[in-house]
Amino acid sequence: MTVPHRGTVPPHREPHALVAKPIFDWFFAVGVLAMVALYVRSLAFTPPDAMQGMAQKIYYIHIPAWLASYTAVGITALTSVVYLWLHDERADRLSEASAEIGLVFLTGGLSTGMFWGRVIWGAWWVWWDMRLTLTLFLWFVVAAYLVLRGAIEDEAMRARYSAVLAVLAALLIPFIHLSVYLFSAGMHPMPVVLQPGEPKLSPQMLVTFLFGFVAFELFCIALIRARYRYAVQRDILATLETSGDAR
């Protein structure tokens, strides 16, 4: 009924050459540099906010982290659909990699938001804030996804199960969004850049923010790429070990 799980260990290459590759990654290096530059620029070369003071600095980390986590989680959902359709194990590795990186950025977004909330709202956590609650449940779903992956030995089954979970989670998010929307009064700051009309940020702040967005997306993709390469090498190693045992 369904296409069998496709293994993609390239047979034409020397196995040990694949496993022992140099680890310097220029893409990753650019990502790290962009992040460092973002910190320097946002702290030293961007004026503090007139109302929120230094607390507003978190804006340059919090929102890019949040957008990067959505990119990563979006990749997981898309590649899961691709896996259920084509049964290609590369799609599965990419969903695994981006889910793990997505969890890192979700954790970053949640924790930076909590610090900001402590200063501006006067509370570490408020349940009636829609985005906070939604992101928290998204965090739980991604965590469950990773635990599920860890609990299954068989590769094909792991790929199918986790893809099913990711696709169902994509259906779940609108429902959580709606129910939290009804539940909450909403005290989260509204978008100041992506909104009808001119951005409400000063030009300097806008440049820092856009730079932050680019830096975080770069860093996120660099991490996913590195994590994906790790998954490829791990699977090659596992194949080599089992074929070694067979001999």
Binding residues (CB under 8 A) for another protein: these are 1-2, 4, 84, 137, 140-141, 143-144, 147-148, 151-153, 156-157, 160-161, 163-165, 167-169, 171-172, 175-176, 178-180, 182-183
Name which of 43 and 178 has its Cβ closer to another protein.
Answer: 178
User: Any idea what the Cα angle at residue 182 is, between residues 170 and 184, rounded to 5°?
Assistant: 100
For 71, 109, 123, 242, the CA distances from 247, given in Å and listed in that order, are 43, 49, 62, 9
Query: What angle do helix axes 203-246 and 89-120 make, rounded to 10 degrees?
Result: 140
Rounded distance between C-alpha atoms, residue 45 and residue 6, angstroms: 51
Smallest distance, another protein to C-beta of residue 1, A: 7
Name which of 143 and 240 has its Cβ closer to another protein.
Answer: 143
Burial class (CB in 10 A: 0-12, 13-18, 19+), 26: exposed
Nearest to 138 by CA among 112, 108, 173, 171: 173
Q: DSSP character for 52?
A: T
Name which of 154 and 241 has its Cβ closer to another protein.
Answer: 154
Smallest distance, another protein to C-beta of residue 86, A: 13
Smallest distance, another protein to C-beta of residue 7, A: 15
Smallest distance, another protein to C-beta of residue 211, A: 34
Name which of 107 and 179 has its Cβ closer to another protein.
Answer: 179
Instruction: State both tokens at 163.
Output: 């893809």
Polymer length in residues for the chain = 247
Smallest distance, another protein to C-beta of residue 209, A: 31
Q: Are 73 and 99 in contact (CB under 8 A)?
A: yes
Instruction: State both tokens at 82.
Output: 């691709």
Name which of 177 and 229 has its Cβ closer to another protein.
Answer: 177
Name which of 5 and 188 has its Cβ closer to another protein.
Answer: 5
Smallest distance, another protein to C-beta of residue 85, A: 11
